[in-house]
Structure 1
Amino acid sequence: MQTAPASAIASDATPSSPVAGAQLPTDAPSAAVAGAGASPESERVPARQHETPYADAIRSLAGEDWQRLHVPGHQGSAANAPGVARLVGADALTIDFPMLFSGVDQETWRLTTPGRVTPLMRAQELAAEAWGASRTWFLTNGASGGNHVATTAVRALGTEVVVQRSVHSSVIDGITHVGLTPHFVTGHVDTGLGSAHGVTAEQVAEVLAEHPESAAVYIVTPSYFGAVADVAAISRVAHDHGVPLIVDESWGSHFGLHPQLPVNAARLGADLVVSSTHKAVGSLTQSAMLHLGHGPFAEALAPLVDRVVRSHQSTSCSSLLLASLDEARKNIVTRPELVEQALASAEDIRARVRADRRFRDATPDILASPDAITNDPFKVAIDTRGAGITGSDAHYQLLRDHRIYAELSTPSALLLLIGAVSPVNVDRFWDALQSLPEAEIEPERPIVLPAPCERALGLGEAFFSATEMVPFEQAIGRVSADSLAAYPPGVPNVLPGERLSAEVVAFLRTTAAAPSGYVRGAADPELATFRVVA
């Protein structure tokens, strides 16, 4: 793997506005990187972005008449695994080659290729160019794996970290496993909608001042509901304190790839960015990217991150997942009309909601969050308060009766996620939404988000302690050994070492009982029992 050529990233300066999306560098000397109102010349996609070097190499391999005497066990034949072939298609089996295949990603390719760059390395270079990074790694264990890489890298810098409280549970898992001490920054929580948003630069500065030994700042933006934090300002705060900024941008993998989208974190000063490419850009589930930013903090992280990626990444990476990253990058970069069509369909839904008597567009609530400087236009939040139906019931009935699968619901809201390259059949959704029954009496809405629990032990101390399972009634007041997160969005509601409150126990049990509910980390899926420190 190599960093993107200097010519591809030289114009990636920090934009003045994080609202307007950055543009790819072009082959023209007048290329503009960021900001609304970019010239037509700057909007031209470089010819190289139409390439899919890794995907092409895999397809080329599949076109040869191989006698395959290697893993995987189906050895490229649908006849050997007919059930698997029915799941993914016979063609998928033919391109399911193992890692370290000479000519694709193994070093021996360098003997025949000018410039000594493998197709996989070239694919990662193109991704780095597209996202304005200095280097990009493809990941096949999801953004969760990227968060484990990032937390491991932080541990090499020190034992303390400033971290947003509403990070994904994989960040908490990583912090716990490597023995970091987190100093939490508690962001804004909309208790009405049931959404946790982000943090401000002022909040980060305050916690850094209280804990000057911290080795990094770790935030998540955009939030699950689409609130976008001021990454540029938070980056300046972190760098002024002499530490790197790591951003979990899982829900913003599409940022910076179209002028109507917010700028992505790598272009705004973040040093390491976790990107869940499958979520909005359309690669296969479990595929992701890790982007390295620019400047001295990113440069210092680069060799360490490279080593950690190697230690965390499977030695049997899926060629299908890797190739899907290559193809998804090309698709979103070279077909802006798809993004525009998807944006139009999202706005059509919002406009209909704004004009409706029952439902309300919750976008103003999200933008009112003190941390939000803009929002992700592909997240459509529909407030169901006053609509005679809870968001949870709307979610379930849309799924059961109309085969419409929304991303998330809370008792107060229904959240839609529209893929950045996937325009929606708006009429189908709208007809289904309008057909939902309306109760004569506004339904009772249970608690949406519980208050944080009191800390009693450190994360690692609790996680590695002897444990016991107790009935939920007896768990109240006991110290949790698990990180428990209502899923989605996967933000932990209780952490190892925190005392379980009656409120959080009730919330998690209600979540687990809901038709679409799931609590990540629970030893008992129904939460009749909880795992606590013995």
Structure 2
Amino acid sequence: MTLDQNKTPLYDAVKYHVKRNAVPLQIPGHKHGHGLEEYREFVGENVLRMDLNETRGIDMIWDPVTVIAEAERLLADSLGAKFAYFLINGTTSGVQAMIMSTCKPGDQIILPRNAHKSIFNGLILSGANPVYVQPEVDDYLSIVTSIRVESLRQAIDKNPAAKAVMAINPSYYGVAPDLRIIVSTAHERCIPVLVDEAHGTHMGFHAHFPVSAMAAGADMSAASLHKTGGSMTQSSALLIGNGKINPNYIKQVLNLTYTSSPSYILLCSLDVARKQLATRGTAMLERVLELAGWARKEINQIEGLFAPDKKYFEQSGHFSFDDTKLLVNVRKLGLTGYEVEEILAKDYNILIELADMYNILAIISLGEQKEYLEAFVKALQNIAAHAGGKEIKQIETVQFYPEVVLPPRQAFFSSKKSVPLEECAGEIAGEMVMVYPPGIPLVSMGEIITADIIEYVKMLKAEKCTLQGTTDPIVDNIMVLDI
């Protein structure tokens, strides 16, 4: 049966309830904003009227049977999935549910080492043991790209009892693996494939993009509609792609961490974003690609800057690229990416998504405006014109291979002590140390901290990079296992 993607059942039900203007003798306690007047004056009355508790007629997220159930069926249909579940704790909750529903304590899961912290937290919650696949490095850009199929195949051969394979599609930088082959390689061994698609919700709606998880035949994926699909921050979806995964068990796992007080504002944004993608997504993304292409062309005409496109990454034959990720290498300006990010924010009032030693990253998405990109290009032209022009000496891209001494869950529950950063070499990490964004741990719980990692952390601190995951916010000390 063909579903009508013009429908927004949950959004319509909530709008009806707002217009009904029922006497609210229930929570939330602000009572349509009357108890939060300053906030209501700024955000508007409708937003606070949509801030509902579980109420007759608007369904319940943890056991939906009416409008939420219908909205989830529409979402699954639009994304090519068999089942879909709304998430309002971000893709983090979906990633953790995927791991917990396929891995029990002690089971092995094969995953890229450049995974997001949510995956590492999923290991702690599930008790699964990681088998890392090291991703490739682009030496010119000095970024980690993605894993090659050959590396995955070797990991499966060495660990045939693994219960799942995790893939990232695409990376924060926009690089995507050969996902179809990854899926078929794992399925040959009857291993399910889970996909962190936090940055790729839009990819299934236009042929130019790398293949989406569902189109590639993945068993499950978690997609951040709020990142690239148009919904509000914190709203995402968990997708099931075939009949091999029990949807009822998935729901049980989700219910372990679901809030009992969901935000219908976020849920409605998912319903409307899905409708928009399903009915107008291709045309909207065509415009986005045109804008991204224009900006990339202009930036590549600025001396000292390089913005790679899909063709650049496809040369290797192993990877693809999402052209809505506007990656700009700035090394030849004599400035670091961190410095360019700071200049853009302070001098031009322009906020970008990410910076590293040699690059900056801007995200081009559904709501993009030409004037935003014109301002960005003009700012880069001015920065380049006044830069020193002495190319920064490129440091070899740091890719650590930390030794896993204890499973993350065991390390998490072990006794810990605080040790000065300078004295941590040889210690077992009791917490994660990560650059955020993108949220990829340099060292994770249960791994040996090496002298190289310490030196790299010191360099990042000197560049005023944002480091997270540590109890000490300035990372002068790290929690290590007290054994």
Indicate whether the TM-score tops 0.5. Answer: yes
Distance change (3 Å), C-alpha of 1:63 and 1:210 = same
Structure 1 CA distance for aligned equivalents of residues 315 and 356 of structure 2? 19
Partner SS for 2:166: strand
The answer to whether the aligner puts 1:275 opposite 2:223 as a matched pair is yes
Superposed displacement of residue 229, structure 1: 1.2
Structure 1 CA distance for aligned equivalents of residues 283 and 430 of structure 2? 49
Superposed displacement of residue 301, structure 1: 3.1
Structure 2 unaligned regions, length at least 5: none
Q: Residue in 1 aligned with 2:400?
A: 451
Superposed displacement of residue 204, structure 1: 1.8
Structure 2 CA distance for aligned equivalents of residues 499 and 158 of structure 1? 20
Superposed displacement of residue 55, structure 1: 0.9
Distance change (3 Å), C-alpha of 1:440 and 1:338 = closer
**Which stretch shifts more, 220-229 or 150-159?**
150-159
The answer to whether the aligner puts 1:105 opposite 2:59 as a matched pair is yes
The answer to whether the aligner puts 1:93 opposite 2:41 as a matched pair is no
8 Å CA contact 2:333–2:390 kept in 1: the answer is no
Structure 1 CA distance for aligned equivalents of residues 12 and 462 of structure 2? 46
The answer to whether the aligner puts 1:159 opposite 2:103 as a matched pair is no
8 Å CA contact 1:513–1:526 kept in 2: the answer is no
The answer to whether the aligner puts 1:410 opposite 2:356 as a matched pair is yes
Structure 2 CA distance for aligned equivalents of residues 158 and 461 of structure 1? 10
Partner SS for 1:382: strand
Distance change (3 Å), C-alpha of 1:210 and 1:105 = same
Q: Which amino acid aligns with 2:261?
A: S
Q: Residue in 2 aligned with 1:481?
A: 430
Distance change (3 Å), C-alpha of 1:366 and 1:484 = farther
Q: Which amino acid aligns with 1:381?
A: L
1:493-532 matched pairs, under 5 angstroms: 493-512=442-461, 514-515=463-464, 517-532=465-480
8 Å CA contact 2:209–2:321 kept in 1: the answer is no
The answer to whether the aligner puts 1:255 opposite 2:203 as a matched pair is yes
Q: Residue in 2 aligned with 1:361?
A: 307
Partner SS for 1:361: coil
Q: Residue in 2 aligned with 1:131?
A: 79
The answer to whether the aligner puts 1:83 opposite 2:32 as a matched pair is no
8 Å CA contact 2:231–2:270 kept in 1: the answer is yes
Superposed displacement of residue 88, structure 1: 3.2
Distance change (3 Å), C-alpha of 1:311 and 1:454 = closer
RMSD, aligned α-carbons: 2.2
Q: Residue in 1 aligned with 2:410?
A: 461
Q: TM-score, normalised by structure 1?
A: 0.84
Distance change (3 Å), C-alpha of 1:194 and 1:488 = farther
8 Å CA contact 2:302–2:381 kept in 1: the answer is no
Q: Which amino acid aligns with 1:482?
A: E
Q: Deviations over 1:455-487 (max 9, x none)?
A: 333322322211111111112221111122211
The answer to whether the aligner puts 1:286 opposite 2:240 as a matched pair is no
1:71-470 matched pairs, under 5 angstroms: 71-77=27-33, 79-86=34-41, 88-99=43-54, 101-106=55-60, 118-156=66-104, 159-190=107-138, 192-294=140-242, 296-297=243-244, 300-335=245-280, 336-363=282-309, 366-368=313-315, 371-372=318-319, 374-425=320-371, 426-436=373-383, 437-444=386-393, 449-470=398-419
Q: 2:12 aligns with which of 56, 77, 87?
A: 56
Structure 1 unaligned regions, length at least 5: 1-6, 9-45, 111-116
Aligned-residue identity in percent = 28
Q: Which amino acid aligns with 2:437?
A: P
8 Å CA contact 2:431–2:479 kept in 1: the answer is yes
Structure 2 CA distance for aligned equivalents of residues 322 and 473 of structure 1? 46
8 Å CA contact 1:164–1:218 kept in 2: the answer is yes
Superposed displacement of residue 405, structure 1: 0.8
Structure 1 CA distance for aligned equivalents of residues 145 and 392 of structure 2? 26
Structure 1 CA distance for aligned equivalents of residues 275 and 354 of structure 2? 29
Superposed displacement of residue 512, structure 1: 4.5
Distance change (3 Å), C-alpha of 1:446 and 1:206 = closer
Distance change (3 Å), C-alpha of 1:80 and 1:447 = farther
